[in-house]
Structure 1
Amino acid sequence: MVPLICVVAGVVGWLLGWHLGVDNAVYRSGALAMLQGEPLYDRMYLSAEPSWARLPFTYPPTAALFFVPLALVPTQVAWGILGAVSVLLLGYVIKVCVEAVPERPQWMDPVRTAVVLGVVLLGLEPVWRTVFLGQINIVLMAMVVVDVLVVGARGSRFGGVLIGAAAAVKLTPLVFVGHLLLKKRWADAGRAVVTFVLLQGLVFLLIRHDFTQFWWHAVQDPQRIGPIYWAGNQSLNGLVLRLTDNADWSMKVVAPIALLIAVPCALWIRRLSPLPALLVTAFFGLLVSPVSWSHHWVWAVPLVVYLLSRLPDRNPSRAQLAPTVAVVLVFASCVLLAMRNGKAVEFDWTVVEYLIGSAYLLVPVVAGGILLARRR
C-alpha cells in the first residue's frame, strides 16, 4: 500500500506541479546532463534542475549512470518511483536481517516482521526523510545488506559486486571493503574493488572531462556539499566543526580518533556474527565519514531489528526493552529538526544543546562504551 501511495503521489505531484524530492531532482538532472553532454561539475547547478532544486551534483560521475532510469519520467514521478522502491527495499532489508539472526524470539517471523516493522519504522527520521527528499540511502543500504548477508554468505561468485557498485554511486560504502577483509572474504573484497575500478574506467571512457573534474577538483570542494557544520551532519567531523567554529583542520582531529576506535571495532567485526558485525562497520563509517547527514543513518533500521531479536520470547523486562526503546526514541524524535540550526547558530550552542544536537552519533558511541565496559 505505501509503495503505491508513493507512486500515486508522484503522478499527482507532476500534474499539480508540486515540489517533490529535491535530491531526486538533482539525481535525475545529473543523468540528463550526462546524456546530453552537459558537464556535471563545471557549474553549481545543472540546467535540467527545477528552480526549487538548484543544488550542485556532488556524487561521482558513475552515479549519473545509475540515475539514467530516473531521466525517463518527470521529476515528481521519478520521486514517487524511487520512494516506492525504497519502501519495498526497506521491508526486504528487515526480512534479510531477521533471517540472519537464527536465535530469535518465536514471534519474530521474517515476513510478518518485515511487513510490520517496514511500516512502523517509516516513522524514523532518517527513513522518512530519505523518502521525502528522494534520497538513495535505503537503496545503497539494501545493496550492502544483500551483498554481505545473502550473496556473499552463500559463497556466490558475485560476492562484493554490489558493494563495489554502491561505492561507485556514493564513496562511503567503500568502508565495507574493509569489513569483507576483516571477515577474511578475500575474493569478495577483491571483486568489490574491481567492480568499483571498472565502473570508474567506464566513466573515464564515456565522460572523461567529468571524471577528471570530480577526482581532481569537485571531490575536494566543500562548497559543493554545503555548510557541513550544520546540526544535520551527525559525524565526528561535524561535531568538531561545531565545537571549533568551522576550523579547517577538523579532520586532523578526527583522523586519530577514527584510528583509535577502529581497533576495538575491527576486533568486534572479527568476532561477531554477520549482522552485528555489519552494524559495527556501518556505524563506524557513519562516525568517521566527513559528512553523515541525518538521513544517512537509515542503518538504525537493522539495528532495531537486531535489538528486537535479543528479546526473550515472553514478558521482556524493562531493562531488556530499554535499548530498543532508546534507539527508536532517538531516531523518531526528530530532535535534530527542532534544534537551533543554520546561519552558523550552531557555534553558539550551549552544552545541553551540543548533547542533544549530537543525538545520532551518541548512539554508537554509547553502545561501544557499554560493550567495552562489559568486556572489562
Structure 2
Amino acid sequence: MHSSRGPRADPALIVVGGAMAVFVVVALVWWLSDTPLGVDSAVYRAGGFAVLHGESLYSPLLALPEWAPELPFTYPPFAALLFTSLTALPAQLSWGLLALAAAPSLYVALRPFAQRAHLPLLLLGAFALQPVWQTVGLGQVNLVLMAAVVADMVLLRDSRYRGIVVGLVAAVKLIPLIFLVHLLVVRRTADAVRGLAAFLCATTFAMVVLPADSVRYWTSAIFNDHFAEMKGWVGNQSWQGFVARTVPEGRTAAVVIVAFGALCAAAAMWLVHRLHHEGDDRAALLVTAGCSLLLSPISWTHHWVWVVPALGLLVARGGHRTALVVAVLFTGWTVAVVPNGGGAERDWNGVEAVIGNAYLIAALVAGLVLLFKCITTYTAWRRKRLQLLGNAEEKILDVGGQ
C-alpha cells in the first residue's frame, strides 16, 4: 500500500507566519496594557493626523502620544498621505501593522539572494541583527521599502511596469532615488523613466493636496536640521557620520565628504556596470544599496537592513564563515560597547574607532573586495581580447603575404 501524503509546508513560510503571530500578540498585549510601543510608528501616525487635521507636518506634531519623544516628521509629504491609514488604529496597533509586514518583507528581500534550503535559518537569524530588530522595535518602514525595491528590481524583471515601485518608494523616502541611477547604469532606461515619472507624479500629487507642507519640505525641512547635531553619534553609520566623528568641522571636512562621495559614486557605478556585464545583477543591486548607505548624510543603524540579502548571497556562494562574522558584527554590540553621546565619539582611541565604525568599515571592505575581483576579471578579459585580436591580425597578414 502506498501512503498518500499531502504537500509539505514550506519551513520558511512557517517562520514568517510564526513571526507574524508573535507580533500580533505583542501589539495586542501592549495595547490592552497601554504600554508604550513604537516610537517611529507613533511619529508616522502623528504625521497622518496632521494631514487630516490641516496641521503643519514640519512643526511639532500635536498627535504624538505623551510617552513619545518630540521627534519631527522628516519624510516627504507623500509619505504622510500614506500614513493617514495609521490614524484608524491606536499607537500600539499602528506599530503592530508595521511589525506584521516585517517577516513577509524579509522573505521577499531574501528569496532572490538565498538558496531555498537556507531560507528558514536566514529568516530566523535575521531577527538577531540590529538593523532588523531595531526596525521592528521602532516601528520603522525600512524592511517594507527594501522588499519593494527588491521586488521591482529583481522579481518584476519581465513586467512592463518595472521601475514604478522604485519611483513610489523614492517618493516616500528620497534615498531610493539612487536605484533609478542604477537602472540607467544597467541600461534599463525605460524602467528608469517609468520610475522617475512615478516619483514625479506622486510628489506632484502631494503638492496639490499639501501645497504649504510641500513648499516647506522642499525648501527647508529636507535638510533635516533636527539631526544635524546628532550626525557624529555612533548610531549614524554613514560616511558623513564618520567624518563628523574624526575630522574637525570646516572646509577640510567638507572636502573629505565631497571627495569621497565622488569617488564612491564613480566606483559604485563602474562596479554595477561590470557586475551586470558579468550577469551578476544581484551583487550589483547590493553595491548600489551599500553606496546609498555610505553617501546618505544619515544612515542610522536600523537603515542597514540590506545586510540581510547580502548575508543570503554570501551563504548561497559558500561564504558561510564570512557570513557568520558579518552577522555577529551586525547584532548591535559594536554600537553598545563604545563611548557615545555628547560628543564622546570624538575622543575614541584607535580600537574604539574601528569598533564604533564597524558597519561603515564592513561596507567599505566588501566594496574593495568586489572592486579588486572585478578589476582582476576585467584585466584578464582585456588581455585575452587583445591576444585574440593580435592573433587575428597575424592571420590576416599571413594570408596577405601569401
Q: Fold match, TM over 0.5? A: yes
The alpha-carbon deviation at position 270 of structure 1 amounts to 1.3
* Residues 259-286 of structure 1, C-alpha deviations (whole Å, 9 max, x = no match): 1122232122112111100000000110
1:87 to 84, 93, 103: 103
1:229 and 1:280 map into 2 onto residues whose CA distance is 24
1:117 is matched with: 122
Q: Do the aligned partners of residues 249 and 81 (structure 1) sit closer, same or farther apart at CA in structure 2, a change above 3 Å counting?
A: farther
* Paired AA for residue 321 in structure 1: H
Contact 1:161 1:191 in 2 (8 A): yes
Q: State the match for 2:63 in structure 1.
A: 48
Matches within 5 A, 1:293-308: 293-308=300-315
Contact 1:229 1:246 in 2 (8 A): no
Q: Against the structure 1 CA distance between its residues 171 and 252, is the aligned structure 2 distance closer, same or farther, given a 3 Å change threshold?
A: farther
Shift of 1:226: 5.5
Tell me the distance in 1 between the aligned counterparts of 2:150 and 2:334.
Answer: 28
Q: Whole-Å Cα distance in 2 between the matches of residues 259 and 334 of structure 1?
A: 31
Instruction: Kindly provide the CA deviation profile for residues 160-218 of structure 1, in whole angstroms up to 9, marking residues without a partner as x.
Output: 11111111111100110110001100011011111111111111111101001101111
Q: Residues 368 and 158 from structure 1, CA distance in 2 versus in 1: closer, same or farther, beyond 3 angstroms?
A: same
Alpha-carbon distance, 1:129 to partner: 0.4
Counterpart residue type for residue 83 of structure 2: F
Q: Give 1:36 deviation, angstroms.
A: 1.1
Distance 1:192 1:249 in 2: 36
Query: 1:337 Cα deviation (Å)?
Result: 2.4
Aligned partner of 2:392 in structure 1 is none
Secondary structure of 1:67's partner?
helix
Question: Which residue in the other structure is 2:187 paired with?
Answer: 184
Q: Which residue of 1 aligns with 2:368?
A: 369
Provide the secondary structure at the position in 2 that maps to 1:97.
coil
Displacement after TM superposition at 1:364 (Å): 1.7
2:91 corresponds to which letter in structure 1?
A: T
Contact 1:92–1:114, Cα closer than 8 Å, also in 2: no
AA partner of residue 317 (structure 2):
R
Are 1:19 and 2:26 an aligned pair? Answer: no
Cα distance change of structure 1 residues 333 and 218 upon mapping to structure 2, 3 Å threshold: closer
Matched pairs, number: 353
Match of 1:67 among 71, 80, 83: 83
Give the TM-score of the pair, scaled to structure 2.
0.84
Equivalent position to 2:286, from 273, 279, 285: 279
Is 1:7 matched with 2:41?
Answer: no
In the alignment, structure 2 segments of 5+ residues that lack a partner are 1-17, 377-402
In the TM superposition, residue 11 of structure 1 has moved relative to its aligned partner by 1.5
Structure 1 unaligned spans of 5+: 99-107, 312-319
8 Å contact from structure 1 (residues 91, 115) kept in 2: no
Deviates more, 1:254-263 or 1:184-193: 254-263
Distance 1:35 1:303 in 2: 39
The structural deviation recorded for 1:238 is: 0.3
Does the 8 Å CA contact 1:29/1:47 hold for their aligned counterparts? Answer: yes
Name the counterpart of 1:101: none
In the TM superposition, what are the counterparts of 1:306-321 in structure 2 within 5 Å? 306-311=313-318, 320-321=319-320
Indicate conservation of the 8 Å contact 2:109/2:150, yes or no.
yes
Structure-1-length-normalised TM-score = 0.90
Contact kept? 2:108, 2:150, Cα under 8 Å: no
- 2:347 equivalent in structure 1: 348
Alignment deviations for residues 335-367 of structure 1 (CA, whole Å, 9 cap, x no partner)? 112321111111111121111110001112112
Task: From the CA coordinates, give the structure whose radius of gyration is larger.
Answer: 2
SS of alignment partner, residue 270 of structure 1: helix
Question: How far apart are the structure 2 equivalents of 1:325 and 1:15?
Answer: 39
Match of 2:12 in 1: none
1:56/1:224 contact within 8 Å kept: no
Q: Distance in 1 between matches of 2:218 and 2:252?
A: 21
Give the deviation of 1:224 after TM superposition: 5.0
**Counterpart for residue 256 of structure 1:** 259
Quick one: which amino acid aligns to residue 316 of structure 2? Answer: S
The equivalent residue for 2:298 is 291
User: Which residue type is aligned with residue 144 of structure 2?
Assistant: V
In the TM superposition, residue 121 of structure 1 has moved relative to its aligned partner by 1.2
Partner of 1:315: none
1:257 Cα offset (Å): 0.9
CA distance in 2, matches of 1:66, 1:221: 20
- Secondary structure of the residue that 1:262 maps to in structure 2? helix
